[in-house]
A and B are shown apart, each in its own frame.
Chain A
């Protein structure tokens, strides 16, 4: 009976135990926000001096969608994990350095 209960519960909440689920939700959100933030540091500002601030805001839904569908469609979930974590570390490091004033 206990086994059966675990099976039903496990089936209903199976997504919570899936690495891909967390990649497509939590990691995707974190990565897309971090990418948006870091873009303001390396995008060229343009003649008006605002492109690096405005373009990340405009394309944020696109960044999120690309991260989401990459996490969902990538055949090898471990590769998706590696790619997304690498991007997160790289861009997160850049953002952290800027916030701490290391880039100014």
Chain B
């Protein structure tokens, strides 16, 4: 139990409430998309009907990559990244670093190939600055979800500043809520009082807040770090410690080797390295990302990046010579040798993405993420209930409903747009997905503004959301060749849709019983 003065309590209540009023709706969108993004890879695989090749990086890469290396301009041999996207395709990006015409820091520029691992045929070839390259259509649903979470689908650095600010807001809300609701353990087992609407709403808000408190603090802290580290922190540190040279600061932090040897030398290829890194002598797992530096030179270096393996907390990376394939050992996430700073940054990633205990931690992170969504929705709802005599707050309540149900509904319509276009008009996947999302938002706003405020609007939203969730697996089965229950998502969507319909039915029945109770009381009292 935390005791603070009466005036400080008043200030905390104001902060807790007004931050929700000003930022709650945007925070809800970031938290919901973040909760879903924990399973973004599975969602990406589901969106294309699944793919049977999860280990494309262990396949025959070298022949095709060597052909592509000869095809691209030599300056792009400076770096090559290879990874498998959520739809199962290999993405190889040959690039160098150049500043854009307007100046600024050097950016990745080169040629990106998307390769079908089933036959190693090139699906697409694009050239230009990494940020300007068109989206990869096969993984666009995955990319859209992640982008909406990371930067609210706005350009950098504005989007990152916005989500960083929202991270700090969530941190403030969680800590102020913790100080205000003084009985932490008792509140974990709170049974919401059913008699009064406001009391019930407050109890449910407290209950959700108590269970998701630690999670909210962790994701808020780590999320704010990811948003501000490169946009604000690195320029500030570079200015202080490197006389404004951000490139130098990045090189020191990442741990770029200082000695270079441009003598031409043949490249060993990726296959022997990937075979070795899967042995117990190295990582013992297949990499999720491979970086080749200075291909065709004597100082060529291959670095493989891995998700945390069983029993390990951190992600790992391993370094090999790009000339003879010799193993040079494990590389820390940052710097050239192990350090507290590098471990802390690794911990940030593991905690934010819920990777610390495999599948189970991801499920827990999803559940707590949804609880935090309910927390922001119920908190703002509670604020509006207390002020429902005012027209402005009733409008705010409608916007809260539109955001809470509408974001989820808009995501299902965006998914439907992706599914409808991917198989038939893959070049229009981006437009269909984005138009689907915007249509969902517009429909939600229209519903929220046209329907009378209150439980009937919520019931309508629950019905619409339930039906759209049930329609998604049906549409997915009709449009893509994959089997039922790709990664269990078809089943999850069906169950979620049914639960939403049941919730709509229950809220209607509850309201009917409450109305009957009021009428009986009025009859009894004449």
- Please list the residues of chain A having a beta carbon within 8 angstroms of any beta carbon in chain B: 20, 33, 36-38, 40-41, 46-58, 60-62, 64-65, 68-69, 72-73, 75, 95, 98-99, 101
Contact = CB atoms under 8 A, between A and B. Distances in A.
Contacts of A50: 252-253, 255, 334-335, 339, 341-342
B168 A49 contact: no
A83 B340 CA distance: 30
Interface string B218-251: 0011001100110011101101110100000100
Contacts of A62: 221
Contact of A60 (B172, B225, B332, B342): B225
A57 B252 contact: no
Contacts of A60: 224-225, 228-229, 232-233
A60 B229 CA distance: 8
Interface in B335-381: 335-342, 344-345, 348
Contacts of A53: 237, 241, 249, 252-253, 341
Contacts of B332: 48
B175 A48 contact: no
Contacts of B234: 57
A18 to B, nearest CB: 10
A33 B175 CA distance: 21
Contacts of B334: 48, 50, 54
Contacts of A58: 225, 229, 341, 344-345, 348
B171 A65 contact: yes
**A38, A58, A69 — which one has the most chain B CB atoms within 10 A of its CB?**
A58
Interface stretch (B5-13, B62-70, B291-299, B321-329): B5-13
B4 interface: yes
B12 to A, nearest CB: 7
Nearest to A65: B171
B120 interface: no
Given A64-B168, A65-B175, A57 B338 contact: no
Contacts of B233: 36, 56-57, 60
A36 to B, nearest CB: 6
A20 B236 CA distance: 26
Contacts of B168: 61, 64-65
Nearest to B4: A73
A36 B344 CA distance: 16
Given A60-B225, A64-B168, A69-B175, A55 B240 contact: no
B258 to A, nearest CB: 12
Nearest to A62: B221
Interface of B: 4-5, 7-8, 11-12, 15, 167-168, 171-172, 175, 220-221, 224-225, 228-229, 232-234, 236-237, 239-241, 243, 249, 252-253, 255, 332, 334-342, 344-345, 348
A41 B338 contact: no
9 contacts: A36-B237, A41-B241, A46-B340, A51-B340, A51-B341, A56-B233, A58-B229, A60-B228, A61-B224
Contacts of B253: 50, 53-54
A89 B406 CA distance: 48
A58 B253 CA distance: 13
| Interface SS of chain A | helix
B23 to A, nearest CB: 13
Contact of A61 (B5, B167, B241): B167
B21 to A, nearest CB: 13
Contacts of B225: 57-58, 60-61
Contacts of A37: 236-237, 239-240
**A57, A69, A101 — which one has the most chain B CB atoms within 10 A of its CB?**
A57
A75 B337 CA distance: 46
A20 to B, nearest CB: 7
Given A61-B168, A65-B168, A33 B236 contact: yes
B60 to A, nearest CB: 37
Given A53-B252, A68-B172, A98-B241, A36 B236 contact: yes
Nearest to B220: A61
Nearest to A55: B341
Given A53-B237, A54-B334, 11 more contacts: A37-B239, A40-B240, A41-B240, A48-B341, A54-B253, A54-B341, A54-B342, A55-B344, A60-B232, A61-B221, A73-B11
Contacts of B228: 57, 60-61
Nearest to B172: A68
A49 B252 contact: yes
B270 to A, nearest CB: 28
Nearest to A71: B11
A72 to B, nearest CB: 5
B341 A46 contact: yes
Given A54-B345, A61-B228, A73-B8, A49 B240 contact: no
A72 B10 CA distance: 10
A72 B12 contact: yes
B248 to A, nearest CB: 11
Contacts of B237: 36-37, 40, 53, 56-57
A25 B168 CA distance: 12
